[in-house]
Amino acid sequence: MKAMLTAFAATAVIAIGADFILGQAGFSSQEQATGAAVRLDD
C-alpha cells in the first residue's frame, strides 16, 4: 500500500516537475510557435 501511495505521489511530482522544466526550457507552445516579432505577453 505504501509503495502504491508513493508511486501516486511520484506521478504528481513528475507531472508538476515536467510542466515546470519544459516551460522553463522554452518548450511552451507559445514560445515554440512564435517568432521574435510576436509579443503575446505584452
Q: Do residues 17 and 11 lie in contact, with contact meaning Cβ atoms separated by under 8 Å?
A: no
40 binds other proteins (CB under 8 A): no
CB of 38 to other proteins, least distance (A): 6
Grid coordinates given for 24: 522553463
Residues 28, 22 contacting (CB under 8 angstroms): yes
Q: Is 1 in the site for other proteins (CB under 8 A)?
A: yes
* Distance between CA atoms of residues 16 and 3, nearest Å: 20
Q: Is residue 39 a contact residue for other proteins (CB under 8 A)?
A: no
What residues line the site for other proteins (CB under 8 A)? 1-4, 6-8, 10-11, 14-16, 18-19, 27, 29, 32-35, 37-38
